[in-house]
Amino acid sequence: MASTETKADDLAGLEAGLDALDAVQVRRTPAREILLNKVLPPVIAVVLVVLVWQLLVWAKVTDDYKLPPPAAVWDSLTDMWVQGTLLEVIWTSVSRGLLGFVMAVAIGTPLGLLVARVKVVRAAIGPILSGLQSLPSVAWVAPAIIWLGLDDKTMYAVILLGAVPSVANGLVSGVDQVPPLYLRAGRTIGATGLRGTIHIVLPAALPGYLAGLKQGWAFSWRSLMAAEIIASSPDLGLGLGQLLENGRNNFDMPGIFLAILLILFVGIAIDLLIFSPLERRVLRSRGLLVKS
């Protein structure tokens, strides 16, 4: 009896040793390193671009009204800030874009699931859904205005037509890439049918789905800007797209530059603030974010 006890203790000790030797060390990156490797390079890049821009202005490569100096654009920005219209204009577009995106997710998710899981549905609308992704959603603006009139409905229709295929396709490719091993493992523990979808397929497809959401946001934002530039009406309020269009009508080049930069800035900011952290969190928790 005593000998088996010792044997069991031996085994436990050996096992503890193996576990300690083999365990994977997970290291958190210190803030300084993040600052140095992640934040500094893009800041330098932006500074360089502005510098080159300023140099071109100084070198007078073209007329001032065609290429305004960075300072003039900055002045337009501060003007809008002082007038109090800056945040209002940004918010008009962002709130529209986000609401449209949320609707696109609400429609695209069940649609994607249906396409991924039901063979007939996939055969029927799978190719159309992929094809729609390559159709620039600006093409929908004209019919949308005729069908729905010059109001917010048009905006949302164009956003949906742009973003729903991305969201749905993201989910479809996420589901397609679920390793068959997970499905088998799920089935052996009793996750079949709807339970399999909820407990295995959806969580396993999450990284692909998130990539689809990210792209869906980009498409939402692009579609909205296209719609705002083309469809301007006092009823619609002033968004970033209209700001750009107004700049063109008034031949106000700094205003046009400002509008373009703001559109770019919002697109990047939403991605950096919402989608990238979400994606990183999901990938890191699964050990899929390998540090080089």
Partner 1 sequence: MATTTLTKAEDRAEVEHAARIRHVSKSFSGPTGQQLVLDDITLDVAPGEFVTLLGASGCGKSTLLNLVAGLDRPTAGSIETPGGRPALMFQEHALFPWLTAGKNIELALRLRGVPKSDRRPEAERLLELVRLGGAYGKRVHELSGGMRQRVAMARALAQDSQLLLMDEPFAALDAITRDVLHDELTRIWRETNASVLFVTHNVREAVRLAQRVILLSSRPGRIAREWKVDIEQPRRIEDTAVAELSVEITEQLRGEIRRHGQH
- Applying CB under 8 A, which residues contact partner 1? 4-5, 7-9, 11-12, 14-16, 18-19, 21-24, 26, 181-182, 184-185, 187-191, 195, 199-200, 203-204, 206, 282, 285-288
Nearer to partner 1, 12 or 56 (CB): 12
Q: If phi over 0 gives left and psi between -120 and 50 gives alpha, with beta otherwise, what is residue 192?
A: beta
State the minimum distance, in angstroms, from the CB of residue 178 to partner 1: 11
Rounded CA-CA distance 203/200 in Å is 6
Helices and strands, counts by H and E, the chain: 14, 0
Contacts of 63 (CB under 8 A, 6+ apart): none
Nearer to partner 1, 22 or 235 (CB): 22
Place of tokens 């990539």: 211
Nearer to partner 1, 191 or 225 (CB): 191
Instruction: Compute the CA torsion angle 284, 288, 291, 292 (nearest 10 deg).
Output: -170
Nearer to partner 1, 191 or 236 (CB): 191
State the minimum distance, in angstroms, from the CB of residue 195 to partner 1: 7
State the minimum distance, in angstroms, from the CB of residue 217 to partner 1: 22
Nearer to partner 1, 38 or 187 (CB): 187
Nearer to partner 1, 184 or 280 (CB): 184
State the minimum distance, in angstroms, from the CB of residue 7 to partner 1: 7
State the minimum distance, in angstroms, from the CB of residue 288 to partner 1: 8
Which CA distances in Å does 159 have to 166, 171, 273? 11, 18, 21
Q: Is 289 helix (H, G, I), strand (E, B) or coil?
A: coil
Q: Is 179 helix (H, G, I), strand (E, B) or coil?
A: coil
State the minimum distance, in angstroms, from the CB of residue 95 to partner 1: 32
Rounded CA-CA distance 105/153 in Å is 17
